[in-house]
Amino acid sequence: MIEQASPVVAAADGALPLFVELPFKWNYVESIIYVSLYVSLTAVLVSTLVSLPIAMLVGFSEFPGKGFLVALINTGMGFPSVVVGLIVLFAVSNQGPFGSLDLLFTTEAMILSQIVLAAPVITGVSLAAVTGVEDGVRDAAYAMGGTRLDVALVTIKEARYGIVTGILAGLGRAISEVGSVLIVGGNIARADGTSVTRTLTTAIQLEARQGRFELAMILGAVLVALVLLINGLVLRLGGSRI
């Protein structure tokens, strides 16, 4: 008799009998993934639009102080995210220069700080890729009578895998950093448990703080899987030559 659990009882339990009970609410994790992706992908998109022209410009031209500028960009690649968070905090805080925009504790502020983090990485790696192909290919393109634009296009085409690597590295830096988004985003969730400015990384930090290591580990696995998935997709679309 006891074995015959009726469907009514199963429904009353509120859980699907086929699934193992998860140690979290799915809409909590789902909203965190959404915020993480929204913030980091937007930041990387904007960074790419800013970084590529800079990389081309610097890579294709010679000017005094170029070495210093490249050193500056490379330094930016390793800039500590908490420091970026602090700087953005003071910029968007009520008393800061952009205080009137009311950006503190919003995803916009988080995007801003991740742009500052990702842009040097994308610029730096793209620049290396562009200058890497410069010598042989550019000379050949010139020798074949190409215009300046032709040469630039050929170079970009040759450097595209390096550029894609740079964008992926920028995304990796953005989505995995915890310092700046915690400071400027505030790790906020609504009272019903869905994320406002809580990302995978800040959620992991919070769950670990509260001793829920199991959920923290699951979120960590989700983060790694996401990054892996994005990398796989990009490489597949790019013809997997890397």
Partner 1 sequence: MTAALAGCLGDDDAPAEIHDETLTVTTTTSTYDTGLLDEVNAAFEDRYGVTVRAVAQGTGAALETGRRGDSDVVMVHARSLEDEFLREGYGINRRDLMFNDFVVVGPDDDPTGVDRMESVTDAFRAIAESESVFVSRGDDSGTHVKELAIWDAADADPEGEWYREAGSGMGEVLNQANRTPGYTLADRGTYVSQRSELDEVSIRVEGPIEGGSALLANPYGVVAVNPGVHETVNYDLAMSYIGFLTSREGREIIEEYAIDGEQLFFPEAVSEEPNFRQYVPENWTTEE
Give residue 194's Cα distance to chain centre.
21
Cα 78 to chain centroid, rounded: 15
Taking CB under 8 A as the binding criterion, the range among 46-54, 58-66, 75-83, 101-109 that sits at the site for partner 1 is 101-109
Work out whether 210 is an interface residue with partner 1 (CB under 8 A). Answer: yes
Does 196 participate in binding partner 1 (rule CB under 8 A)?
yes
Query: Judged by CB under 8 A, does residue 192 bind partner 1?
Result: yes
Report the alpha-carbon distance of residue 223 to residue 205 in Å, rounded. 13
- Other CB atoms within 10 A of residue 216 CB: 18
Judged by CB under 8 A, the stretch of 25-33, 97-105, 136-144, 215-223 that binds partner 1 is 97-105
Per CB under 8 A, the segment of 33-41, 53-61, 92-100, 111-119 that binds partner 1 is: 92-100
Residue (160 or 212) nearer to partner 1, CB: 212
Which of 46, 208, 217, 218 contacts partner 1 by CB under 8 A? 208
With respect to partner 1, which residue has the nearer C-beta, 12 or 191?
191
- If one counts every other C-beta atom within 10 angstroms of the C-beta of residue 37, the result is 15
Half-sphere exposure of 240 (CA within 13 A, CB side): 3
How many other C-beta atoms lie within 10 A of the C-beta of residue 193?
A: 13
- Residue whose token pair is 């800039």: 79
Instruction: State which of residues 50, 98, 138, 212 lies at the interface with partner 1 (CB under 8 A).
Output: 212
Q: Which of 41, 46, 50, 188 binds partner 1 (CB under 8 A)?
A: 188
How near is the Cβ of 222 to partner 1 at its closest, in Å? Answer: 21
Q: Given candidates 76, 186, 220, 238, which one binds partner 1 under the rule CB under 8 A? A: 186
Q: What is the DSSP string of 16-34?
A: -TTSPPPSS-HHHHHHHHH
Alpha-carbon gap, residue 220 to 162, rounded angstroms = 28
- ∠ CA 195-198-201, nearest 5°, is 140
By CB under 8 A, name the binding residues for partner 1.
93-95, 99-100, 102, 104-105, 186-188, 190-193, 196, 208-213
